[in-house]
Amino acid sequence: PRFGRGIQQQPFQAAEPEPATPATLEGRNITAWFGDHQVLDRVSLTMEAGVITSLIGPSGCGKSTFLRILNRMHELVPSASLAGEVLLDGDDIYDPARKLVDARKQIGMVFQKPNPFPAMSIYDNVIAGLKLTGVRVSHGEKDELVESCLVKAGLWNEVKDRLRAPGAGLSGGQQQRLCIARSLAVRPRVLLMDEPCSALDPTSTRVIEETMLELAHEVTIVIVTHNMQQAQRVSQQCAFFLAAQGTPGTIIEHGDTEAMFADPIDPRTHDYVSGRF
């Protein structure tokens, strides 16, 4: 045979898809209502690309509402209305010319209660979002996509031998990582996480925190948490929300997480982060 020496015969490999890049998400003067009940008042916050931002504050101050406005889920509630703007790398996600599915695809969400499709296999759960958001992946690329998303979510080793088993058979922590894998499959540029570890044990919580830190180079993460240690472990930026009695939620203080915990400017922030609230 006349093959040149040193020319290795490589099996054909599909080109890796371009890695997703994190985007900057900016909420500007977000005011929100349910009916005539105002729950947010001119909240402005920039969540920088590739940075993990935590949202902290007592229950009922509008953190989840703010998160749902950031990916256009707020409008699913019939009584809900809002004012203000949400910019994804400078582009208004509420622009009427822009498709709703486009915002949802680029801005993923993970909820407090893990919500995989219980009867669906682990494999099918990971790719469940593709059809919904119109992302096309060839049959041959699906296996690779499923594997890479499960690896990123820190779940691959635990499930690789039972990809066809139903999602419901996993533990709570595994189900939450499956939901993270499902979010990642559509290659979002921002991932919103609403108390993702509140229903989980400390070990699962740690695994998810490690996953978040590793994901930050490809997706901007915004996490709502009631766990002050968690906010300090994972986030570089932090925003403190508060709704004083009978008034809508606002951001009292935001900035560098370490500075905010070590040396908060507002006495209310001080009371909250030191657990005296």
Chain positions contacting ligand ADP, by CB under 6 A: 34, 39, 59-65, 77
Q: Could you tell which of Mg ion, ligand ADP, none binds residue 106, using a CB distance below 5 to 8 A set by kind?
A: none
AA identity, residue 48:
E
Q: Closest separation between CB of residue 239 and ligand ADP, Å?
A: 12
Span from 56-64, 74-82, 98-106, 182-190 in contact with Mg ion (CB under 5 A): 56-64
- Cβ-count burial of 28 within 10 angstroms (0-12 exposed, 13-18 middle, 19+ buried)? middle
Q: Which does 34 bind (CB under 5 to 8 A by kind): ligand ADP, Mg ion, none?
A: ligand ADP
Helix (H) or strand (E) holding 181: helix 172-184
CB of 222 to ligand ADP, least distance (A): 13
Residue 203 interacts with which of ligand ADP, Mg ion, none, CB < 5 to 8 Å by class? none
Residue 30 or residue 126: which is nearer to ligand ADP going by CB?
30
- The CB-of-248 to ligand ADP minimum distance in angstroms stands at 8
- Torsion sign, CA atoms 164, 120, 111, 175: negative
Distance of CA 260 to the CA centre of its chain: 22
39 contact, one of Mg ion, ligand ADP, none, CB 5-8 Å limit per kind: ligand ADP
Alpha-carbon distance of 115 to 266, in angstroms, equals 37
Q: Which is nearer to Mg ion, 153 or 243 (CB)?
A: 243
| Contact between 65 and Mg ion per CB under 5 A | no
Output the CA angle 123-222-150, nearest 5 degrees: 20
Contact 51, 236 (CB under 8 A): yes
